[in-house]
Amino acid sequence: MTLLRCRGLRKTFGGHVVLDGLDLTVDEHRVVALIGASGSGKSTLLRCVNLLEELDDGTIELDGEDISDPRVDPDRVRRRIGMVFQSYNLFPHLSVLDNISLAPVRVHRRPRAEAQAQARELLDRVGLGTKADAYPDQLSGGQQQRVAIVRALANSPRLMLLDEITSALDPELVGEVLALVRELKDDGMTMVLATHEMGFAREVADQVCFLDGGRVVESGPPERVFGDPTEPRTRQFLRRIIAAGRL
């Protein structure tokens, strides 16, 4: 079943075209990896899907509902979508537990005790059970990013958007975050992830989309896109990635 369908997305920032008629379809329980150079529109696409940016043209459907319709309440849409950012964006004034239970308590009106119990359960699952009362600045980058993922999961989202979630991490901390994403995939979570980790994209994604100039230039199973790309621009990009030792 199709969960997310983007058609002809266009987004400009001050005369600079970032998305230029982009199409993307994501089926339920599938993991789609967006790859491409910086500025190719990966992050903008994710921010548009989460209605953090206003589209200049095109439509986005979530579960068959046109969420790019201005009459749609964006808060209601965002409750169904979890987003994780490159720089974690945890709330520095709240403990780990409060970071996670804030939305369940305030948005979903769940009793605080119940929300906190669920938060502790999720933290235990990702191996951070002892950090519930810590503050974000007392955690390593990898731990913060895992908390950010848990915070998004606490809303029980239908779709997870991961925006280069390992780019700000020290290399030795990347593994623990990717392991968590792998677990989410095994649980059947639908995910769209923008990433520079080609090895990870190859391993975890069901479908890889190469973005260039604000469009999906090439898309398909990872073996094909990485092993036998048909588009010259994809080949050029992959050659540079290999030259940089990232694949």
Partner 1 sequence: MILAPHEPSAAQRRREAYRRRQTVTSVLVAAASTAALGTLLVVAVTGAPGWDRVRRSFADPAIARDALPEVLAGLWLNVRLLFCCAAGALLLGLLVAILRTLRGPVFFPVRALAAGYTYTFRGLPLIIVLYVLTLGVPGLRLAGMPPVLVLGGLALVLTYGGYLAEVFRAGIESVHPSQLAAARSLGLSYRQTMRHVVLPQAVRRVAPPLLNDVVALQKDVGLVSLAGPIDAVRAAQIATAETFNYTPYIVAGALFVLLAIPLIAVTDWVTLRAARRQERG
**What is the β-pairing status of strands 190-194 and 159-163?**
parallel
**Residue numbers of the site for partner 1 (CB under 8 A)?**
47, 50, 52, 74-76, 78-79, 81-83, 85, 87, 89-93, 102-103, 106-108, 137, 151-152, 155
Contact 213, 20 (CB under 8 A): yes
Q: Give whichever of 165 and 238 is closer to partner 1, judged by the CB atom.
A: 165
Give least dist CB 214 to partner 1, A: 21
Give least dist CB 83 to partner 1, A: 4
Q: Give whichever of 12 and 87 is closer to partner 1, judged by the CB atom.
A: 87
Give least dist CB 217 to partner 1, A: 27
Give least dist CB 187 to partner 1, A: 20
Q: Give whichever of 17 and 102 is closer to partner 1, judged by the CB atom.
A: 102
Give least dist CB 152 to partner 1, A: 7
Nearest by Cα to 108 from 154, 72, 44: 154
Nearest by Cα to 205 from 188, 228, 217, 222: 222
Q: Give whichever of 144 and 195 is closer to partner 1, judged by the CB atom.
A: 144
Q: What share of the chain is helix, strand, coil (3-state, %, to 5)?
A: 40, 25, 35
Q: How many C-beta atoms lie closer than 10 Å to residue 225's C-beta?
A: 24
Query: CA 41 to CA 219: how far, in whole Å?
Result: 15
Q: Give whichever of 89 and 235 is closer to partner 1, judged by the CB atom.
A: 89
| Distant-in-sequence contacts of 221-226, Cβ < 8 A, 24+ apart | 222/33, 226/198, 226/202
